Structure 1
Amino acid sequence: MPVPNSPKNLFDQQSVSDFSRDRYGHAAHASKRAAHASGQTAHASRGGEAPRPDSGAYRASAPYHAGAPRNPGTGAHRGAAPAAYRNAAPAAHWGVGGNVQPFDMGNAAAKKRKNGPWTVVLVIAVLVLVLCLAVLGMIGYGYWHGSKVYTTIAEQAFPEKEADALSAMTVDWDALLAQNPDTVAWIYMPGTSIDYPVVQGDSDEEYLKKDFTGDSGGIVHKGTIFLATDNAGDFSDENNVLYGHNMNDDTMFAHLLQMTDQATFDAARTFYVLTPTQNYRCSTFALDVVDSTQTDLLQYTFSGKAALQQYMDERKSDSVVSVPNDVDSEQVSKLFTLITCGDDYAATRAVLFGAVVESATPTNAS
Structure 2
Amino acid sequence: MTGKGKRRKGDLLFDVIIVILLCVIAFSLFKVASILNEYQKGTREYKQIAEDADLKLEENRLHVDWKALKKKNSDVKAWIYSKGTVINYPVVQGDDNSFYLHRLLNKEYNFKGTLFIDYRVAKPFDDFNTIIYGHRMKDGSMFKPLVKYREEDYYRKHKVMQLATPKHQYDLVIFAAVTIPARSSMYKCTFETRKEKEAYLEKIREKTVLTTDIQVSADDRIVMMSTCTYEFDNARVVVYGKLIEKD
User: Cα offset for 1:332?
Assistant: 4.8
Q: Measure, in 1, the Cα distance between the counterparts of 2:35 and 2:151.
A: 28
What's the % identity of the aligned pairs?
27
1:164 aligns with 2:59: yes
Aligned to 1:123: 19
Contact 1:283–1:355 (CA<8 Å) still a contact in 2? Answer: yes
Contact 1:332–1:356 (CA<8 Å) still a contact in 2? Answer: no
What is the aligned counterpart of 1:181 among 62, 74, 77? 74
Deviation track 1:59-82 (CA, whole Å, cap 9, x = no partner) reads: xxxxxxxxxxxxxxxxxxxxxxxx
What is the aligned counterpart of 2:207 among 306, 318, 322? 318
Letter of the structure 1 residue corresponding to residue 17 of structure 2:
V
Contact 2:125–2:221 (CA<8 Å) still a contact in 1? Answer: no
1:251 aligns with 2:147: no
Deviation track 1:240-290 (CA, whole Å, cap 9, x = no partner) reads: 000101100111111111222221222111112211111221111110011
What is the aligned counterpart of 1:199 among 79, 92, 109? 92
Aligned pairs for 1:66-81 (under 5 A) are none
Aligned to 1:210: 103
What TM-score results when the alignment is normalised by the length of structure 2?
0.92
Point out the structure with the larger strand share.
2
Aligned pairs for 1:7-156 (under 5 A) are 108-156=4-52
Contact 1:225–1:243 (CA<8 Å) still a contact in 2? Answer: yes
Contact 2:76–2:93 (CA<8 Å) still a contact in 1? Answer: yes
Q: Measure, in 2, the Cα distance between the counterparts of 1:331 and 1:165.
A: 27
**Higher mean C-alpha deviation, range 331-340 or range 137-146:** 331-340
Letter of the structure 2 residue corresponding to residue 111 of structure 1:
R
Contact 1:200–1:233 (CA<8 Å) still a contact in 2? Answer: no
Aligned to 1:342: 229
Aligned length: 247
Q: Measure, in 2, the Cα distance between the counterparts of 1:230 and 1:266.
A: 32
**SS state at 1:155 partner:** helix
Structure number with bigger Rg: 1
Aligned to 2:174: 284
Q: Measure, in 2, the Cα distance between the counterparts of 1:346 and 1:223.
A: 22
Aligned to 1:267: 157
Q: Measure, in 2, the Cα distance between the counterparts of 1:347 and 1:200.
A: 23
Question: Which consecutive unaligned segments of at least 5 residues does structure 2 have?
Answer: none
Q: Measure, in 2, the Cα distance between the counterparts of 1:255 and 1:182.
A: 24
**SS state at 1:208 partner:** helix
Q: Measure, in 1, the Cα distance between the counterparts of 2:162 and 2:54.
A: 12
What TM-score results when the alignment is normalised by the length of structure 1?
0.63
Question: Which consecutive unaligned segments of at least 5 residues does structure 1 have?
Answer: 1-105, 361-366
Q: Measure, in 1, the Cα distance between the counterparts of 2:99 and 2:156.
A: 33
User: Cα offset for 1:178?
Assistant: 0.8
Aligned to 2:220: 333
Aligned pairs for 1:216-231 (under 5 A) are 216=109, 221-231=111-121
Q: Measure, in 2, the Cα distance between the counterparts of 1:338 and 1:234.
A: 13
Q: Measure, in 1, the Cα distance between the counterparts of 2:168 and 2:94.
A: 21
**SS state at 1:287 partner:** strand
Contact 2:55–2:65 (CA<8 Å) still a contact in 1? Answer: no
Q: Which has the higher contact order (CA 8 A, sep 6+)?
A: 2
User: Cα offset for 1:198?
Assistant: 0.8
What is the aligned counterpart of 1:354 among 238, 241, 244? 241
Q: Measure, in 2, the Cα distance between the counterparts of 1:345 and 1:249.
A: 22
Aligned to 2:197: 308
